[in-house]
Structure 1
Amino acid sequence: MGFHKSCMDIELKQGHVLSAYCRRPSGEAHYSELDLNDFIGAKKGKFTWSAENFSDGAANVHLEWEGDTKPKKPILHAELADGNDYHEDCVNLADCIKNEDGHLRFMDCF
């Protein structure tokens, strides 16, 4: 299950730090942060999971809530450099980030 279904006040700080209050099984909420640079990279203008430092070559990084489902999906958007130009790309953070006992955690997903 994606973290966004059990977390609230989800924000993107400094263009690469995901923060949220995540519910624990007991029901209490715990503040958690996850540096996306530790798990997302960029290659040829595209986001890449299980890589690092996407924000080093990124512009206009932001989080948007998209889709017809409730809750909507947390989609990370950015313009990523490929060496010559910037290309817009996006990635669904819920695909590889989970809430584990009140903590945002990366899970190997691909």
Structure 2
Amino acid sequence: MGFHKSSMNIELKSGHVLTAYCRKPTGEATYSELNLDDFLGAKKGKFAWSADNFSDHASDVNLKLEGPTHEPMLSARLDDEEGGEHMDVVNLADCIKNENGRLRFMDCF
């Protein structure tokens, strides 16, 4: 289950730090931060999981909760390593979970 289903006030800080109040099994919500640059990169103008430092290659970074289930979609214009830029979008819920009130990256691909 994606972290967004058990979290609130999901935001992006400094263009690469995901923040949220994540519910624990007890119902208590705790503040958590996760630096996306630690495991999300950019390759050839596309987001790449299990890479790093996407923000070094990104502009127009934006986080929106979209659709009926409020999927956390991160979008950015990413350098393609050949002088061009491409807009790409990644669903953060694919690889991030709420583990006992903390945002955690999970190997997903």
The sequence identity of aligned pairs, in percent, is 69
Q: In structure 2, what is the equivalent of residue 94 of structure 1?
A: 93
Length-normalised TM-score, structure 1: 0.96
Q: Which ranges of structure 1 fall in alignment gaps of 5 or more residues?
A: none
- How much does 1:58 deviate? 0.4
- How much does 1:82 deviate? 0.8
Q: Which ranges of structure 2 fall in alignment gaps of 5 or more residues?
A: none
> Across the two proteins, how many residue pairs are aligned to each other?
108
- Are 1:80 and 2:65 an aligned pair? no
1:56 match: secondary structure: helix
Which amino acid in structure 2 is aligned with residue 20 of structure 1? A
Q: Distance in 1 between matches of 2:37 and 2:108?
A: 16
1:31 match: secondary structure: strand
CA deviation vs aligned residue, 1:53-82 (integer Å, no higher than 9, x gap): 000010000101222x33x10000000001
- How much does 1:13 deviate? 0.3
Q: Distance in 2 between matches of 1:85 and 1:13?
A: 26
Q: In structure 1, what is the equivalent of residue 26 of structure 2?
A: 26
Q: Give the alignment's Cα RMSD to 1 decimal.
A: 0.6
- How much does 1:48 deviate? 0.1
Q: Distance in 1 between matches of 2:100 and 2:66?
A: 25
Length-normalised TM-score, structure 2: 0.97
